[in-house]
Structure 1
Amino acid sequence: MSETTVRYNKSDQNVENEVSGNLKVGNQLDANVYATKKTIAQGMLDVALLTANASQLKYCLQLGTKSKFYYFMVTLISSSIILQISLGVAIILKSRFNINKDHHQRSAEFYNNTIVWIVFVITVINIIISAFGFDLNQPSAPIK
């Protein structure tokens, strides 16, 4: 596993946290390193889903109103994209907190709970998008 260094700049204080394959500091698990790795992985998954939804939206718009679920699908895909952008912002805000510091824990917990709910809603929306998906055998209409 390659090593990455994540640096946080906070006013007058520079906090450097090395994120590597080892999550332990001494004999104890460093929860902040774990949370940072989890946030980075979650962000990468969010980018992958955002790309897939953008592709679905493009295909839906190319297909046009020929699809009987056109407006429903455009609404769902657009909602998913908006929520994913909101999720990205929440992940960035969450990464500003060090859960090893008592005064950061309440805010970090709030953002973490918000992120969980946003991920849940995005998942439900994308399940519905998959259920009402497009017939890929139907030729797409050219963009006019």
Structure 2
Amino acid sequence: MAERESENHGQLTLEQNSKPLDANSYATKKTIAQGMLDIALLTANASQLKYVLQIGHQHEFYTLMLWLISVSIVLQVVSCTLALVLMTLNINKPERQHVASVLNHVVVGFVLVAMVADVIKMSFGLDPGPVQKRSADENQ
């Protein structure tokens, strides 16, 4: 973007040929990018859920992991749905700005809680570890 100093008190202005920033377009692109990241995280959670269900009660923290993965998936689906609704709002209209702001805060809150659930989930790990080794030792 070409910028130049105007003669009015040294302020920077954009040249006349530049397009102004469209806040609605920016918000839409940001929401789409966030949605793609949510899809990647949802895919990872689905894979982890499949793994935990396959291992079953051999996993030391089976119930906790199942609960955390389920909460994370539900929150991700809800936040993605709200993000899709948010994407349809035209924030250039003043009457829509408050609704969009509230919805954005709700989505951020859901994403934050899902992230906390994911951090807790990963701190317990998905590797059943010693449980499988103990079972293998008992079979010998």
Q: Shared topology, TM-score over 0.5?
A: yes
CA distance in 1, matches of 2:22, 2:128: 47
Where does 1:97-108 land on structure 2 (aligned, <5 Å)? Answer: 97-108=89-100
> Which structure would you say has the larger RCO, counting Cα contacts within 8 Å and 6 or more residues apart?
2
Within 5 A, what are the aligned runs for 1:1-144?
Answer: 26-135=18-127
Task: Give the Cα separation in 1 of the matches to 2:128 and 2:96.
Answer: 48
Compare the two structures and name the one with the higher strand fraction: 1
Q: Quote how far apart the aligned CAs of 1:27 are.
A: 4.4
Q: Distance in 1 between matches of 2:64 and 2:121?
A: 9
Unaligned ranges ≥5, structure 1: 1-24, 140-144
Q: Could you say which structure has the higher helix fraction?
A: 2
Unpaired stretches in structure 2, ≥5 consecutive residues: 1-16, 133-140
Measured after TM superposition, the shift of residue 28 of structure 1 is 2.4
TM-score normalised over the length of structure 1: 0.75
In structure 1, what is the Cα distance between the partners aligned to 2:50 and 2:27? 34
- Tell me the amino acid that sits aligned with residue 52 of structure 1: A
Deviation of 1:26 after TM superposition, in Å, equals 4.1
The alignment of Structure 1 onto Structure 2 pairs a total of residues equal to 115
For residue 135 of structure 1, give the secondary structure of its aligned residue in structure 2.
coil
Looking at structure 2, the residues matched to 107 and 125 of structure 1 have their Cα atoms a distance apart, in angstroms, of 27
C-alpha distance in structure 2 between counterparts of 1:137 and 1:59, whole Å:
14
User: Which is greater in Rg?
Assistant: 2
Q: Give me the whole-angstrom Cα distance separating, in 2, the residues matched to 1:70 and 1:44.
A: 29
CA positional deviation for 1:68? 1.3
Q: Give percent identity, aligned residues only.
A: 50
